[in-house]
Amino acid sequence: MAPHVVGLLGHTGRTGSVALKVINQGHISGKLVLVILHRPGSDLSTVPVGIETREVDLSKPDQGQIKAAVEGLNVLISLVAWQGQGDQIHLFKPLAEVPGFVTYFNPVIGHPLWTSDQSSEDERVAAFVRSVQTNQDRAREANIGFTSLQTGVFTDFFFDIKYLGSDIDANTVMLPTGAESKQMPFVSTDCLGQAIGELATRPPESIKDKLFHTYDYNPTGDEIVQTFAMLHGGKSPKIVEYTHEAYEMDVSSPPPSLKVGSGVYKHTWGSGEWNWEGERLGPREKNFEELAKFYWSKR
């Protein structure tokens, strides 16, 4: 049987650059054929020799040009940044017309997670969910498969942009009520890239319309507090309570604001209800203290 053909869109990004290396190993071993789809002017210097590249401009929806770019694909993995998610809508009609195309894989749909009570009872969160599920819905309307990968919070988000309100430099930890003993899942770029690469090597039909999830760090609130204290020479961090009022402000932000996702993650952390779905990929939990030391060393 001939190897399946995997298209990768977004090979230069934080996750895409890691996924490219992993998927290329599958290409080298003959498990798949990799094709890079890229925007006009993209940096192709990291694309390994021998990998086919195809230019596609989704900001100017020329259906003929897009159809030529996706011809022969069995799987399309889209790792474009949030800013480019809206343009993905132009892919689905051409993909539906490609003989043998099986599934569109857009991992960004997998996060943030939300608890069942939020998604069913809070219209603000439901609106956010709908906003990030747009491409999933469009794929289904076009009658093509969709593959989803749920994740924890990006480690870069937690440490670099203080996505959950904690600040390693200021020795401040934001905790929702109940989070002291509850685990908060984080995913590193390497873990996410490896998971995407693993799915790319599988037979396309085996991942069609399936949910997967991955994370590689899962500390409790207390473990985060203890780690920050250790890094600051034993000085206990300042604990900032994530209040209901703060949650209301976060989820009232217009979607798809990062604040809504942050609020949902913090609420879920306090509840301990993660509702992971499907098969878990990647390594079991790694040491959060070692991760924190890495970001501490970057200061």
Count of alpha carbons within 13 Å of 204, Cβ hemisphere only? 22
Rounded to whole angstroms, how far apart are CA atoms 224 and 221? 5
Treating both helix axes as pointing N-terminal to C-terminal, what angle do 258-271 and 244-251 enclose, rounded to 10 degrees? 140
* Chain segment 68-78, per-residue pLDDT in tens: 999 999 999 99
pLDDT of 116 higher than 80: no
Q: Which residues pair with 151 in a beta bridge?
A: 214
Tell me what the mean pLDDT of segment 240-266 comes to: 88
Higher per-residue confidence, 255 vs 91: 91
- What architecture does CATH give domain 4-297? 3-Layer(aba) Sandwich (3.40)
pLDDT at 137: 82
Task: Name which of 99, 80, 96 is nearest 88 in CA terms.
Answer: 80
Please check the confidence at residue 85 and state whether its pLDDT lies above 80. no
Residue 161 has pLDDT above 90, yes or no: yes
Residue 118 has pLDDT above 60, yes or no: no
Mean pLDDT (whole number) for 268-283? 88
- List CB contacts of 200: < 8 A, sequence separation 6 or more: 6, 8, 19, 22, 23, 26, 32, 75, 77, 105
CB contact at 8 A, 93 and 63: yes
* pLDDT band of 114, cuts 50, 70, 90: low
Cα–Cα dist 167/172, whole Å:
5
pLDDT tens string 38-52: 999 999 999 999 999
Q: Of 132-141, 200-209, 278-287, which gets the smallest average pLDDT?
A: 132-141
Question: What's the whole-number mean pLDDT along residues 118-124?
Answer: 68
What pTM was estimated for this model as a whole? 0.90
Q: Residue 50 class from Cβ within 10 Å (0-12 exposed, 13-18 middle, 19+ buried)? A: exposed
Task: Report the pLDDT value the prediction gives residue 58, as an integer from 0 to 100.
Answer: 87
- Answer whether residue 106 shows pLDDT above 70: yes
pLDDT value at residue 93: 92
Average pLDDT on 237-256 reads: 90
